[in-house]
Amino acid sequence: MEAFETYQTPLASRYASKEMSYLFSSANRFKTWRELWLNLAIAEKQLGLPIGEEAIEQMRANLDLTPEQFDIAAKEEKKRRHDVMAHVHTFGQVAPAAAGIIHLGATSCYVTDNADLIFIRTGLTYLLKSLAVLISRLSGFAAQYRALPTLGFTHFQPAQLTTVGKRATLWIQELLWDLRNIKRARDDLGFRGVKGTTGTQASFLALFDGDHDKVEELDELVTKLCGFEYAYPVTSQTYSRKIDIDVLAPLASLGATAHKIATDLRLLANLKEVEEPFESTQIGSSAMAYKRNPMRSERVCSLSRHLMVLHQNALMTSSVQWFERTLDDSANRRVTLPEAFLTADIVLSTLRNVSEGLVVYPKVIARRISQELPFMATENLIMAIVKKGGDRQEAHEKIRVLSHEAAHQVKNLGLENDLIDRVRGDAYFDRIKGELDSLLDPQTFVGRAPEQVDKFIKDWIEPAMADEELKEALSKAGRVDLNV
């Protein structure tokens, strides 16, 4: 019952994947701190500091925290008002042989910042894999509907025809750019490493009796033990908060892409042309029982807006870091970084769920085309008359008059577009009446849309998905089931 009496973020309790929720959990955070202290001790021992093997083994055997250790740490933090030192003390209790050397030479940011970089790198990897699956799902959708004509919209007003599949490639192209940007941010990520209180490594230089080479070697060794290729060459007490900007920027950009896709789907649902999945027992409205609201796409839009604005936090935090550091970044980043990753995770999983169950209604699409295509086909009719020896200006005037009569039927009387019936009933058009069906075939109005879909999949999507890391993710990916 106690869990229901305390606020919990819905990001974790309702929406996010278990993997991403665990990544930013207290259990994983403090375990990672312990792993960082273990790696520091291993490296210091290897470089000659008097650290016993028993200390290393006790640390290694106690990386996971028990509920009792969490209670001890909470009491220590309340007493010391310092989370890192509370956990140094707690770790020392279960690894007594190491109690005197845990955190040796380090500052708090050795564990807090390096842990954040580990979480960021892992989180970006999770997002890359989920994004690849989404791209793959939408690619299949685009291929399936590569040639299905649909009314295009500019300004949300009827425009030339496109295809359902071609429209999906517009979504995928932006997702491919997001894939590139997130991968770039992850692969560029470095490690804070072993830098000391203000980044000068003075404490480690003292530990190694002024041996600069050993200090540099320590930094490199700890970086490698933690799985990073390189450490940032210079830092202050923290790694530069500009790194957070670089990480959250592609996530915010992903939010913009997701919002656009979900908005398109919401509009298509209103047109009854394409719908997101809707379970047989799902309720669209507590009052209006007939409703099928696009709630998943609406959720994507809602959370995408949140994801986009979180980038502003990183920008503002970075801009106010005085000199070697100021602590007004800490509380903000405790909220901003986990929320950015959990939100991006939710946006992707929800879009994946939507993409795996999209429903297309070809007859509704065809009906809407039939309402607009006669007007769009008037130029084709004029050209056909001219080819049969007619006068272009005379044909134009005939079409103009009939078009306005048909528009009156549609707009003022609420009737169907009967332009083609009017053309069939006018003797002037006798010479082309046998061609009307072919002149009005929607397939002739989509240009190269089907071929563009084929080429885009072959030249852009397939090469991107050929990456070994992403291929493995695709091979293991199942369908996404949403809890709510």
**Residues identified as active-site:** 155, 285
**Tokens 């954040």 correspond to what residue?**
116
Asked if 384 contacts 432 with a C-beta cutoff of 8 angstroms, the reply is yes
Contacts of 366 (CB under 8 A, 6+ apart): 149, 442
C-alpha dihedral (49, 53, 57, 58), degrees to nearest 10: -70
| Distance in angstroms (rounded) separating the CA atoms of residues 298 and 276 | 11
Helices 26-46 and 67-80 sit at what angle, rounded to 10 degrees?
A: 80
What the block records as the tokens of 151 is 């009314």
Q: What is residue 191's three-state secondary structure?
A: strand
Asked if 117 contacts 239 with a C-beta cutoff of 8 angstroms, the reply is yes
| Distance in angstroms (rounded) separating the CA atoms of residues 200 and 396 | 81
What the block records as the tokens of 233 is 């060459």
Count Cα atoms within 13 angstroms, Cβ side, for 359: 13
**Tokens 């929800």 correspond to what residue?**
350
Asked if 140 contacts 239 with a C-beta cutoff of 8 angstroms, the reply is no
Burial class (CB in 10 A: 0-12, 13-18, 19+), 381: buried
What the block records as the tokens of 266 is 């919401």
